[in-house]
Structure 1
Amino acid sequence: MTHHMPTETAPQDRIWMAFPRTGATLGDTSSAREAGYAAWAAVANTIADHQPVSIIVDPSEADHAARMLSGDITRIVRPIDDFWLRDSGPTFVHATDGSVAAVDWIFNGWGGPAWTSSGNDRDLARFIADMAGVPVVPSLLVNEGGGIHVDGAGTILLTDTVQLDPDRNPHADRLRVEEEMTRTLGTTRAIWLPRGLTRDYDTFGTRGHVDIVACLPSPGTLLLHDQRNPDHPDHAVTRDLRAQLAEEVDAQGNRLQIIALPAPATQTDAHGPVDWSYVNHLVINGAVIACSFAEPDADREAQEILASVYPGRTIVPVDARELFARGGGIHCITQQQPSPR
């Protein structure tokens, strides 16, 4: 059976998330943890204003979740380790008859750094598939949902330092990965980025997830993170990526229209250069949940660009600073379940 991952603008039944639990990335003080809970809850509650949301809640956080989440959100209590659900959960696809299925990647905690554990998450994708009432498409590839982006018309973005990471897939090569993406997602043209943003290679990074760097809002169009400050290490990274992507073609053989999404003005935090990115937004039915960074001019420019590439959708900003402080953004903590075709 052939499966096909639709574009993120396709109609959706719901968004899946996981509520934060105490651990290395949530924070080591009460105030830090509360800020993390609030950031996740703000995203979930905002989405719930537009469409259904289901959220996995570790038993240890059931009281927090009940207190902070909208009553419209479906809470499912189950032990979890990580709460970046796009990575630990399934990737939803369509079967040839238009029904929905869930790809079950192997999740090993982004290559298994010492601070993470994934024992409770190993069968999370299957659990969510069962909750959604859809069949599972098994895969032996170690992969995360934040490490891929598709245009729904055959093109997929990948990163050498993610899918070919020796701590993820030590025996893989580009051809093997591309064949697995064709089998599970129905893609026919892979565009490989050599790396991701600089901060993503720090302790709590993913080693190059594409969904903070670039995305395909529609076939033939690519949004690219644009760090314009030459003193920031991502200035060279995004300059080189733009030069490469300008020479790439999509599954239809067409060159991509590259639209720059300028980075916010903030360059550093207490841990070094930031990777704050407007690319890491979530498309839902009738709206786009956009990262904001309390920078009115930069936020406004990004929202105008997003409105231009997602016509007819309302742009809804949510403060993403506390998310990025923990290693990701709005797209990273959510996963869309498309409607049957």
Structure 2
Amino acid sequence: MSWRQPAEGVPQERVWMAYPVTGYSLGDTESERDEARRTWAEVAHAIADHEPVTVLVDPGEIDHARRYLSSEITIVEAPLDDAWARDIGPTFVVDDESGRLGAIDWVFNGWGAAEWATWGKDQHIGKLIAELSGAELITSPMINEGGGIQVDGSGTVLLTESVQLGQGRNSDWTAAQVEAELARTIGTTTAIWLPYGLTRDNETFGTRGHVDIVAAIPTPGTVLVHEQTDPAHPDHAVSAEIMRVLADARDAQGRAFDIIGVPAPEGLTDSEGFVDHSYINHLVINDAVIACRFDDPRDDAAAAILADAYPGRAIVGIDARPLFARGGGVHCITQQQPAVQSAKRVVPIP
């Protein structure tokens, strides 16, 4: 078969999520735990207004999940280490000739074997979701996460040297080997390598440079890029370099990109230092875009840019500050499943 990862804006069957579990993503105090559960539930309910949602829940959180999640959300019990469905779940692909759905099960090792991460349970989630979705399982020997790639559905993939080739992942691979494995699994023919991601994301508790907080491709030939306009923030230089790389790049059809800067929020810091708050980390679903908001003066302007980039879709804002405080955004906690005729629906647990 010839597998291809479609663009995120194609019709979807459902979105997969994982509910926060004991640890940093849930929090230490009762107020922090309530905040996490409410925020994940808010994202799930916003999606459910447009398409089905399935949430994997650790056995220890089932009772809480049933209180925070409405009956329209499908709950599946599964042991979890963490709550970042984009990274621990599979990447869905399609075979255009047969109409079949596939699911790439990458090797997951806690974002490059980060010293703070555990992944003994999460490393099995890709296979589990593949089985539940009715997709054909495609195993890959490459250490990768869904947040580390962005595609246009037409052969182009954006990725990051500090992720796919970084320490703890595939540091003994060449760029050509990574590109060959992506061609085999997600069907891309042109890889555009960004040097790194945002500053905080490259610090101790980050992913070491995921692209889904930096750049997104709403349509082939167009790329949305996180633009830090304040020189006081270290990401000012980072975003300028990423824009330079993209300006010199060509997509799989040989086109130069129409680069659209999405200004970062005005807020520069929190109690931990410079933030990586980004409007790029949005989720495209059927008829809508679930967008990040930060109670910031630039929230509305960013929503307007997304509305132009995704015409005909409602822009649904979620306060993403609780997500970013835990290490990610809306895109990071979700994974979309494209709609194909061959996929079977999961059965809700009683």
Same fold, judged at TM 0.5 (above): yes
2:229 paired residue number: 228
1:216 paired residue number: 217
Which moves more between the two structures, 24-33 or 49-58? Answer: 24-33
1:58 paired residue number: 58
Give the Cα separation in 1 of the matches to 2:123 and 2:251: 33
Q: What are the superposed Cα offsets for residues 272-301 of structure 1, whole Å, 9 maximum, x if unpaired?
A: 000000000000000000001112x31110
Give the Cα separation in 1 of the matches to 2:133 and 2:306: 30
Q: What are the superposed Cα offsets for residues 136-162 of structure 1, whole Å, 9 maximum, x if unpaired?
A: 011000000000000001000000000
1:90 paired residue number: 90
How many angstroms does 1:165 deviate by?
1.4
Task: Tell me if the contact between 1:108 and 1:118 (Cα under 8 Å) persists in the aligned partners.
Answer: yes
Give the Cα separation in 2 of the matches to 1:35 and 1:271: 19
Task: Tell me if the contact between 2:199 and 2:235 (Cα under 8 Å) persists in the aligned partners.
Answer: yes
SS of the residue corresponding to residue 252 of structure 1 reads: coil
Which moves more between the two structures, 34-43 or 319-328? Answer: 34-43
How many angstroms does 1:114 deviate by?
2.1
2:146 paired residue number: 145
TM-score by length of 2: 0.96
SS of the residue corresponding to residue 324 of structure 1 reads: helix
Task: Tell me if the contact between 2:80 and 2:121 (Cα under 8 Å) persists in the aligned partners.
Answer: yes
User: Is 1:74 paired with 2:81?
Assistant: no
1:22 paired residue number: 22
Give the Cα separation in 2 of the matches to 1:241 and 1:78: 38
**Aligned amino acid, residue 138 of structure 1:** T
Give the Cα separation in 2 of the matches to 1:285 and 1:323: 23
Task: Tell me if the contact between 2:155 and 2:187 (Cα under 8 Å) persists in the aligned partners.
Answer: yes
Q: What are the superposed Cα offsets for residues 205-262 of structure 1, whole Å, 9 maximum, x if unpaired?
A: 0000000000111100000000000000000100111112111100000100000100
How many angstroms does 1:133 deviate by?
1.0
How many angstroms does 1:333 deviate by?
0.3
**Aligned amino acid, residue 185 of structure 1:** I
How many angstroms does 1:25 deviate by?
3.3
How many angstroms does 1:173 deviate by?
1.2
**Aligned amino acid, residue 307 of structure 1:** A
Give the Cα separation in 1 of the matches to 2:202 and 2:25: 15
Aligned residues: 340
1:298 paired residue number: 298
Give the Cα separation in 1 of the matches to 2:27 and 2:202: 19
Identity percentage over the alignment?
56
**Aligned amino acid, residue 301 of structure 1:** A
**Aligned amino acid, residue 159 of structure 2:** L
Task: Tell me if the contact between 1:16 and 1:337 (Cα under 8 Å) persists in the aligned partners.
Answer: yes
Gaps in structure 2 of 5+ consecutive residues: 342-350
Once superposed, what is the RMSD of the aligned Cα atoms?
Answer: 0.9
2:289 paired residue number: 288
**Aligned amino acid, residue 262 of structure 1:** P
Give the Cα separation in 2 of the matches to 1:133 and 1:24: 32
Task: Tell me if the contact between 1:24 and 1:115 (Cα under 8 Å) persists in the aligned partners.
Answer: no
Give the Cα separation in 2 of the matches to 1:128 and 1:25: 21
How many angstroms does 1:197 deviate by?
0.1
Task: Tell me if the contact between 1:225 and 1:277 (Cα under 8 Å) persists in the aligned partners.
Answer: yes
**Aligned amino acid, residue 75 of structure 2:** R
TM-score by length of 1: 0.98
How many angstroms does 1:26 deviate by?
2.6
**Aligned amino acid, residue 172 of structure 1:** W
2:323 paired residue number: 323
Give the Cα separation in 1 of the matches to 2:284 and 2:148: 17
How many angstroms does 1:28 deviate by?
2.1
Identify if the C-alpha distance between structure 1 residues 72 and 118 changes in structure 2 by more than 3 Å, giving closer, same or farther: same
1:202 paired residue number: 203
User: Is 1:244 paired with 2:245?
Assistant: yes
Q: Which runs of 4+ in 1 moved over 2 A?
A: none
How many angstroms does 1:98 deviate by?
1.8
How many angstroms does 1:99 deviate by?
1.4
